Amino acid sequence: MIDIKDIEKSFEGKQVLKGVSLSLQDGETIVILGRSGCGKSVLLKIILRLLVQDRGAVIIDGIDTSRFREEQMMPLRKRIGMLFQGAALFDSLNVMENVAYSLREHTKMPEAEVRDKVAECLEFVELSGTEALMPSELSGGMKKRVALARAMAIGPSYMFYDEPTTGLDPLTSRKINQLIRKLQAERRVSSIVVTHEIANAFQVADRFVVIKDGEILLTGSASEVRGSKLKFVQDFIKGGVIGHGEQ
């Protein structure tokens, strides 16, 4: 379980998060909705401590990381797979080396087994046979999927997806949604999904969190979100123009 308590974060005097609290139960998938620039990616990075909050605490499996040094975070980071918004593949490594990265770093798995595991992960994201390609040779959507394979390779118990389906065709999007579901069902992976694509959100979410102006506006199930009378939420669902006063 991951508990986030009253997280505040500012950049150069501009407050992005103004006290966000959230808890991710085991086996649950949360979808975070919010306008571009509202701090969704920042929130995910704070949980991983890639950014450090100004105030508030992150508690991962009962461990409060608020005062952790970089190296103390390492064992916890192994439990979390992160799909970065921009894929963030290592561009000096090929697809095989990217996906094998954490296996080679953190396990003593023999090379043949690493290869099998990588092939399996790539098959999962429908990119079998791309092992030898360099990231510069991949399309945007392929990069995303390789990054997904890299994040899940070592079998983390949490997965964070930062806009996993943005820029993918509908078929691949659906495939990724199924994958998120499958990881949840088969391995009891708990997930946080950040997305703008409402249709996808409804496919994967157990619970929704809507962030507006640095605070949580609403959290609830799909039906609660659909039934919400808040204009911001309705506009968001309908994809209409969203109210005023955001960043």
Ligand X SMILES: Nc1ncnc2c1ncn2[C@@H]1O[C@H](COP(=O)(O)OP(=O)(O)OP(=O)(O)O)[C@@H](O)[C@H]1O
Instruction: List interacting residues with ligand X (CB under 6 A).
Output: 11, 16, 34, 36-42, 85, 247
Sheet with 55-60, edge to edge strand ranges: 14-24, 2-11, 55-60, 63-64
Asked if 105 touches another protein (CB under 8 A), the answer is: yes
Asked if 84 touches another protein (CB under 8 A), the answer is: yes
Q: Taking CB within 5 to 8 Å according to partner kind, which of another protein, ligand X, Mg ion, none is near residue 36?
A: ligand X
Among 89, 189, 194, 204, binds another protein (CB under 8 A): 89
What residue has token string 């963030």?
A: 88
Among 82, 127, 142, 211, binds another protein (CB under 8 A): 82
Asked if 45 touches another protein (CB under 8 A), the answer is: yes
Among 66, 72, 75, 170, binds another protein (CB under 8 A): 75
Residues in the chain: 247
Which residues of this protein are in contact with Mg ion, per CB under 5 A? 41, 85
The residue among 50 and 109 lying less far from another protein, judged by its C-beta, is: 50
CB of 116 to Mg ion, least distance (A): 34
Among 5, 18, 55, 78, binds another protein (CB under 8 A): 78
The residue among 139 and 247 lying less far from ligand X, judged by its C-beta, is: 247
Structure tokens, 29: 């998938």
What residue has token string 């950049």?
A: 11
Sole window of 18-26, 66-74, 183-191, 239-247 interacting with another protein (rule: CB under 8 A) = 66-74
Q: Which residues of 198-231 are buried (b: 16+ CB within 10 A; e: fewer)?
A: eebbebbbebbbbbbbbebbbbeeeeebeebeee
Asked if 90 touches another protein (CB under 8 A), the answer is: yes
Angstrom distance (rounded) from CA 141 to CA 247 = 28
Asked if 48 touches another protein (CB under 8 A), the answer is: yes
Among 101, 161, 232, 236, binds another protein (CB under 8 A): 101
Q: Taking CB within 5 to 8 Å according to partner kind, which of Mg ion, another protein, ligand X, none is near residue 247?
A: ligand X
Q: Which residues bind another protein (CB under 8 A)?
A: 45, 48, 50, 70-71, 73-75, 77-78, 80, 82, 84-86, 88-91, 101-102, 105-106, 147, 150
